[in-house]
Structure 1
Amino acid sequence: MLRRLALTAVVSLAVLSAAAPGAAAASGPLPLPSPLPLPLPLPLPQGEGEDDARARLTVTVSKAGDPSAEGVFELECAPVGGDHPAAEPACDRLAELADEGTDPFAPVPRGAMCTQQFGGPATARITGTWQGRHIDAVFSRADGCEISRWNNLRPVLPGVR
């Protein structure tokens, strides 16, 4: 329950932060809510040795609005390889997310309050292994929560038009 409340607060603050400049221009400055203390993220399960940094992912992207960003791409990290168009920055981003202890492949929690905005028809599926565990995650841009998940994984997932 506390996690859901904290997630709702974070999403609300993000939406207000994005909307505040436009609203302030039209009607003057708005008071911002006081930030809530957030619990620290739980660490991801760790394997042993080199497997922690290793990733072998298949990224399938469709309807991204850019033909060069659509298709099936292989991404390998530690060492960097595969035919992903931005393999090195993508591996750097995955390493950064692992260091933060966050799970970028987790679905949007049930009952999450998401802004009702449409980010386009782009979809993606990522399968393989990361941090020593099996990954099978689906991404879209159907609402604010899904757009945030997508953007959090850039450049593993492409920018879209």
Structure 2
Amino acid sequence: MLRCIVLTATASVAALVAAVPAAGASPLPLPLPVPVAVPLPLLSSPADDQLTVTVSDTARTDGMYELECGPTGGDHPSAQAACDRLDEFAREGQDPFAPVPQDQMCTQQMGGSETAHITGTWRGRDVDATFNRTNGCEISRWQSMQPVLPNTRS
């Protein structure tokens, strides 16, 4: 994202320099650049990431796991991969802990009785999110959080 901003700024300066009239020519006023709103990446570092992941009814990965990112730590069974996945969400500007919108159309399928609860801090903000596999949207949400949440299917 930062590279894109720098390249855009460089191209804008080059275009303005090329548009400046030669010495002695009658100068015309140049239009001022219009500011464009550019979303900035979250400024907090992964060092702020401290999450507690509690998983239930999975038949093989139940438990409470601590996950720390930047540096990677805790007793999460896939800590480095989980931190890498959370970094992907941050780079893409996504909130992995956002619930499924209430007006979202979801397939009515049961993916299992598994539940998960994640609390803590991610990118400088508090997290308190629940996950389940009660419909197609929730199943997809769970799967997108792997390996932060365990793969409950063989």
Fold shared, TM-score > 0.5 on shorter chain: yes
TM-score, scaled relative to structure 1: 0.68
What SS is found at the alignment partner of 1:61? strand
Alpha-carbon distance change, 137 to 120 in structure 1, aligned in 2, over 3 angstroms: same
2:149 counterpart of 1:157: yes
2:102 counterpart of 1:110: yes
| Equivalent residue, structure 2, for 1:53 | 46
Instruction: Give the distance between the partners of 2:98 and 2:64, measured in 1 at CA.
Output: 21
Could you tell me which runs of 5 or more consecutive residues in structure 1 were left unpaired when the two chains were aligned: 1-41
Q: Cα distance, 1:52 vs. partner?
A: 2.5
- Structure with greater contact order relative to length (CA < 8 Å, sep ≥ 6): 1
2:148 counterpart of 1:148: no
1:92-103 correspondence runs (5 A): 92-103=84-95
Number of equivalenced pairs: 115
Alpha-carbon distance change, 155 to 85 in structure 1, aligned in 2, over 3 angstroms: same
TM-score, scaled relative to structure 2: 0.71
Instruction: Give the distance between the partners of 2:103 and 2:41, measured in 1 at CA.
Output: 25
Q: Contact (CA 8 Å) 2:133, 2:142: kept in 1 or not?
A: yes
What SS is found at the alignment partner of 2:120? strand
Which protein is bigger by CA-based radius of gyration? 2
Name the aligned partner's letter for residue 126 of structure 1: I
Instruction: Give the distance between the partners of 2:42 and 2:114, measured in 1 at CA.
Output: 32
Instruction: Give the distance between the partners of 1:125 and 1:45, measured in 2 at CA.
Output: 26
What SS is found at the alignment partner of 2:64? strand
Which digits, 9 at most, give the CA deviation of each residue in 1:102-131, with x for residues without a partner?
011000001110001111000000000001
| Sequence identity percentage | 60
Alpha-carbon distance change, 127 to 102 in structure 1, aligned in 2, over 3 angstroms: same
Name the aligned partner's letter for residue 46 of structure 1: L
Q: Contact (CA 8 Å) 2:42, 2:90: kept in 1 or not?
A: no
Could you tell me which runs of 5 or more consecutive residues in structure 2 were left unpaired when the two chains were aligned: 1-37
Q: Cα distance, 1:76 vs. partner?
A: 0.1
4+ residue runs over 2 A deviation: 42-47
Instruction: Give the distance between the partners of 1:86 and 1:96, measured in 2 at CA.
Output: 15
What SS is found at the alignment partner of 2:126? strand
